[in-house]
Amino acid sequence: MMNDPSEKPTRSGNGPTVNKGPDCAQALDMNAKRIANPHIRSQRPVKWLFAGDSITQGAVQTDGWRDYTQLFKERLGELGRNEDVVINTAVGGWSLEQFASRRDDRVFSYQPHVVLMMFGTNDAVGGNSTSSVFSSDMKGFLEFWASTGLI
């Protein structure tokens, strides 16, 4: 149990130690706000596109409940953004490599304003790459997306 609020939590057991302190959370939050805020404040309708694996697709894990893309659409409605469109192009079982080979028809054909991606689960579980290869691929992929201004 942590007594000092500045102490970073760690995961116990046989797995690796995970240090997710305020620095990581703050950086992610700042980046999300930097990308989302102009679109949330926009007067025009925005197309939000989610791409990922089965977790994003909401296929099996939701047990009939709403997935997080549907919850996101509901939150947009609460903000008065009823004309925004949320598109979910996720495919269960896909890795980053599979998505990369179909990027144009899974993303660009919809002409989104914002792309939100979640990959890594299938890459870690059954992928053909090591963590360093995945990390390198993801870095290159994020640099590409950053250059498009979509994420």
Domain 45-148 homologous superfamily, CATH: SGNH hydrolase (3.40.50.1110)
For position 12, what pLDDT does the model report?
Answer: 42
Environment class of 27 (CB within 10 Å of its CB; exposed 0-12, middle 13-18, buried 19+): exposed
Nearest of 26, 44, 18, 46 to residue 116 by alpha carbon:
46
The confidence score (pLDDT) of residue 82 equals 94
User: Which parts of 10-140 are beta strand (E)?
Assistant: 47-52, 85-88, 114-118
pLDDT in tens, 14-54: 444 444 445 555 655 566 667 677 888 889 999 999 988 88
Q: Where are the domains of the chain?
A: 45-148
Whole-model pTM?
A: 0.69
pLDDT at 86: 95
| 80-129 confidence digits (pLDDT tens) | 999 999 999 988 888 888 888 888 888 888 999 988 888 877 777 765 56
- Are 111 and 47 in contact, with CB atoms under 8 Å apart? yes
